[in-house]
Amino acid sequence: MKLNDFLRVFDFTYDITKDNEIRLIDLEGVNLGEIEECRFPIDEDAVLRVIDRLDSYINDYIIAEFESELRLKGVDSSCMNLEEMRRKAEELGKKMFVTIFHMQL
């Protein structure tokens, strides 16, 4: 799988800066955590750094949102995976903004 194909699963793409670095582009234009400001030098570890940054992004902005919403409804989500949290939130009448995962799960 090419990097761009992988990133599109999460509604991102990338470009190469004039300084020869990878810059992520949020296709939804949200830019949470200023992820578009991150730069990744192009070397043998570049893709690993991009994946690590996406892992932080997903945990900080997607999973944390689910956990917070469910906690407000009195639900302990500590042992739930993302799909279980999404389903539970929908059962409780809360449509969550997770287009990047909704199609994939």
Of 12-16, 76-80, 97-101, give the lowest mean pLDDT range. 97-101
Has residue 66 got a pLDDT over 50?
Answer: yes
Looking at residues 73-87, what average pLDDT do you find?
Answer: 88
Instruction: State the Cα–Cα distance between residues 60 and 43, nearest whole angstrom.
Output: 26
Percent of the chain with pLDDT over 90: 48
Burial class of residue 25 in the structure, from the number of CB atoms within 10 Å of its CB (0-12 exposed, 13-18 middle, 19+ buried): middle
Task: Give the pLDDT confidence of 20-33 residue by residue, as tens digits.
Answer: 999 999 999 988 88
User: Domain extents for the chain?
Assistant: 3-99
**pTM summary value:** 0.72
Cα-atom radius of gyration of the chain, to the nearest Å?
16
